[in-house]
């Protein structure tokens, strides 16, 4: 390329050079600059400045081109130094306003990331069997209250031999118990009959003794009369014999009659004393007489019956206790059979269905998980922190949690610090999912339910320390 070719001038949009030049204007909004062919093309600096002002809207240049306004007496132009100072102050104010929040967060002890978490409660089959009913209306995410019936497991092969054995033992004991009760009842009836006979005998015996005593009293009266007459006759015969008018034989006969009357009176008195002793014994429910010692045969039989009844009642009391124990054992066996044959599963807490592991009609084994429920009543926040922040934390430290959408802060406190150790695995969101930092803290937050029904999985930020309270 020759030097003449390199010296060709560059064309510029909307540039009007000297009127004598032959140029073609470019479309508006675009310009190209070509190197001038000679230095004389750029000599007119005022024309170039005018062109640039028109192209880019230079207001200062327009002001220089337009006539200056008539100055007001109430306005005075600011010096360039004051203008730059005001602009600097306005810029610093904007900088402080916009950067205050990031600066404030920079000095706070906070988490790197945080997520709302909750424990997972897994309901397992207590027995092996078939899921008979339930689970039809449940879906993942369904909200259930505490005590909600989830499913029923039925085991048709449960062993009931223990119930049969306990029932047989209880039946045999009750039969023996009924036999003893019947025997005691018969002896009681017999004792009642004998008691009546003994009482009748005692009454008759009392009457007989009273009659005998009355008879003896009559004999005593007669003996006393005979004795009185014998004494008078003896006195008379003794007087006659002393005077010589009577025979000595008559006196001796009178003496004999007196002695016989005295003996008859004494005999009657002895019989009355014997009957009095028997009457006193009858009054004390004691018997004695000819042919027996202290009571009649019926009274002795009554004593034997009372002794037998006492023995039978003791046996019945022992058998009653055994029947009670056997009944309790049968109740336990029935309860165990019911537990082994039929189990109704209910929700231990209110929450949401997290997972369904089975379906109606499926065969399950004992301990197999059936349903897992998200416990929304005890929401927690799992926060990942840096090592430096972790070393400043302690259990019980106040903290607050703010959702990512910028809602108000919720108060809480630190309840667990896991660090690099293995954290609990029964959470809906495992701590290992927070991969930014290896140090983690568990925060119990109050009023979490006010933010939603169960906001598990929502993220936010935790601030620790006194500034959080």
pLDDT in tens, 110-164: 778 888 888 889 999 998 999 987 777 788 888 888 888 888 899 988 888 899 9
pLDDT of residue 320: 93
CA angle 40, 43, 49 (to 5 degrees): 140
pLDDT in tens, 19-37: 433 444 434 433 444 444 4
d(CA 440, CA 382): 7
Which are the contacts of 62, defined by CB distance < 8 A and separation ≥ 6? 53
Just give the CATH number of 162-313. 1.10.287
Both tokens assigned to 31: 């310009």
**b or e along 333-355 (b: 16 or more beta carbons within 10 Å of the residue's beta carbon)?**
beeebeebbbbebebebbbbbbe
Average pLDDT score, the chain = 75
d(CA 430, CA 242): 150
Q: How many helices (H) and strands (E) does the chain have?
A: 8, 14
pLDDT in tens, 278-334: 777 777 766 655 555 455 677 778 888 888 999 999 999 999 999 999 999 999 999
Can you tell me which residue has the tokens 């610093």?
Answer: 92
The percentage of residues in the chain with a pLDDT greater than 90, rounded to a whole number, is 14
pLDDT of residue 169: 93
pLDDT in tens, 67-116: 555 544 444 555 667 777 777 777 776 765 555 455 445 446 777 888 88
User: CB-based burial of residue 14 (10 Å sphere; 0-12 exposed, 13-18 middle, 19+ buried)?
Assistant: middle
C-alpha Rg value of the chain to the nearest Å: 65
Can you tell me which residue has the tokens 């809906």?
Answer: 428
pLDDT in tens, 258-277: 888 888 888 888 888 877 87
pLDDT of residue 432: 67
Beta strands in 118-193 (DSSP E): 120-124, 129-134, 143-144, 149-154
User: CB-based burial of residue 237 (10 Å sphere; 0-12 exposed, 13-18 middle, 19+ buried)?
Assistant: buried
Kindly report the number of other CB atoms within 10 A of residue 372's CB atom: 20
CA angle 47, 49, 50 (to 5 degrees): 65
Both tokens assigned to 277: 């002793």
394 three-state secondary structure: coil
d(CA 126, CA 343): 7
pLDDT of residue 25: 43
Helix, strand, coil percent values for the chain (each to nearest 5): 50, 15, 35
pLDDT in tens, 175-188: 999 999 999 999 99
Beta strands in 43-173 (DSSP E): 113-117, 120-124, 129-134, 143-144, 149-154
Which element (helix H / strand E) includes 419?
none
Kindly report the number of other CB atoms within 10 A of residue 6's CB atom: 9
Pick the more confident residue, 144 or 42.
Answer: 144
Q: Cβ(124)–Cβ(372) under 8 Å? A: no
428 three-state secondary structure: coil
CA distances to 130, 426, 444 from 460, rounded to whole Å, are: 44, 21, 14
Predicted confidence band of residue 453 (pLDDT cuts 50, 70, 90): low
Architecture (CATH level 2) of domain 113-120+374-468: Beta Barrel (2.40)
Which element (helix H / strand E) includes 401?
strand 398-403
Instruction: Report the pLDDT averaged over residues 227-234.
Output: 81
Kindly report the number of other CB atoms within 10 A of residue 303's CB atom: 12
Beta strands in 19-69 (DSSP E): none
């Amino acid at each position: 390329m020759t030097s003449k070719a390199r010296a060709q001038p560059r064309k510029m949009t909307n540039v009007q050079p000297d009127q004598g030049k032959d140029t073609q204007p470019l479309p508006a909004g675009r310009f190209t600059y070509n190197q001038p062919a000679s230095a004389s093309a750029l000599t007119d600096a005022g024309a170039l400045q005018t062109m640039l002002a028109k192209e880019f809207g230079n207001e200062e240049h327009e002001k220089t081109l337009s006539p200056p306004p008539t100055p007001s007496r109430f306005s005075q132009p600011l010096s360039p130094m004051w203008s730059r100072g005001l602009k600097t102050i306005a810029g610093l104010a904007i900088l402080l306003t916009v950067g205050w929040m990031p600066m404030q967060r920079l000095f706070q002890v906070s988490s790197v990331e945080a997520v709302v978490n909750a424990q997972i409660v897994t309901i397992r089959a207590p027995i092996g069997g078939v899921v008979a009913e339930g689970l039809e209306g449940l879906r993942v995410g369904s909200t259930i209250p505490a005590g909600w019936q989830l499913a029923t497991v039925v085991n048709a092969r449960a062993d009931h031999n223990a119930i049969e054995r306990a029932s047989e033992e209880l039946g045999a004991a009750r039969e023996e118990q009924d036999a003893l009760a019947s025997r005691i009842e018969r002896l009681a009836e017999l004792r009642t009959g004998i008691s009546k006979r003994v009482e009748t005998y005692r009454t008759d015996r009392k009457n007989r003794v009273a009659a005998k005593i009355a008879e003896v009293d009559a004999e005593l009266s007669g003996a006393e009369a005979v004795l009185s007459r014998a004494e008078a006759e003896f006195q008379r015969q003794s007087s006659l014999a002393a005077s010589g008018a009577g025979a000595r034989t008559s006196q001796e006969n009178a003496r004999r009659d007196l002695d016989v009357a005295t003996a008859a009176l004494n005999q009657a008195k002895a019989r009355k004393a014997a009957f009095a002793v028997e009457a006193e014994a009858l009054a004390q429910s004691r018997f004695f007489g000819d042919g027996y010692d202290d009571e009649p045969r019926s009274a002795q039989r009554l004593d034997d019956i009372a002794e037998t009844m006492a023995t039978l009642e003791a046996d019945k009391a022992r058998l009653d206790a055994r029947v009670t124990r056997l009944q309790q054992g049968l109740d336990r066996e029935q309860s165990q059979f019911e537990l082994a044959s039929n189990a109704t599963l209910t929700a231990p807490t209110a929450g949401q269905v997290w997972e369904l592991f089975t379906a109606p009609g499926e065969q399950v084994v004992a301990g197999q998980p059936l349903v897992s429920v998200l416990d929304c009543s005890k929401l927690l926040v799992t926060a990942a922190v840096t090592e430096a922040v972790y070393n400043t934390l302690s259990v019980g430290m106040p903290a607050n949690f703010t959702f990512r959408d910028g809602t108000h802060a919720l108060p809480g406190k630190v309840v667990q610090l896991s660090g690099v150790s293995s954290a609990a695995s029964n959470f809906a969101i495992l701590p290992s999912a927070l991969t930014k930092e290896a140090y983690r803290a568990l925060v119990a937050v109050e009023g979490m339910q006010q933010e939603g029904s169960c906001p598990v999985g929502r993220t936010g930020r935790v601030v620790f320390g006194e500034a959080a309270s």
